Structure 1
């Protein structure tokens, strides 16, 4: 699933509903708030709240928007790798904030999740029993970003933290 593609599909459905129901301002409100969410990190529950607060909404579009919001609110849903999903869930439970989710650079086609912490790679590997398929990655180039974390060799997805500079 791709956040922006799924969001844009919902926006198109809302545009149709706006044309068909020009006197229902709710659809314009939903479209406006959906357009503001250009990243899964911006999902904050506002769409579901609007839907719950307005009983007159078409139940089909309301259900789709709520499902969209619930799906993308959980960052682990954006990753295919089961081991990296477990790592993300582990870090989220520890209340570590996420800096970025998406394609980390132009040539990368897989999703990477960046956490605002220094990851202890050896402790995490042992604690979560990460397989050989999950490799350690370190980038020490200050121009492209100092990072350390894990990459899944099959999916090329990554979970990164900050690199500790000694």
Structure 2
């Protein structure tokens, strides 16, 4: 039977233990699942990439403090070759100023020696009030701007 947070969809191992610790807001248990030389790669925002579990502590400490009711939900996961675990997940909660925050995306974890060694991180804010797909394509292609070709 699926749990409401979806953590049971994850394979046994450090990724599942990390998400379980996140739900319990147990920062030390979370960090125990990361290798000291952990590498976080954020392809859509390269300047946000970092190395080291100390930054994981800093990030999650700020998240837990700034979004006290934050919940994390695992929607799906898959296990790949070479110790890869793909996780579709999201988070939601309320900031201290009362505004709602929601993120969704995918993280591709690399596991080495029963620890999370790296992740390719694709979590982004959910934008509910943005333009439709046509406007999004237009923004990417520049169509409709002066000098654009059909």
Q: TM-score, normalised by structure 1?
A: 0.27
Q: Which structure carries more helix by proportion? A: 1
The structure whose RCO (Cα within 8 Å, separation 6+) is larger is 2
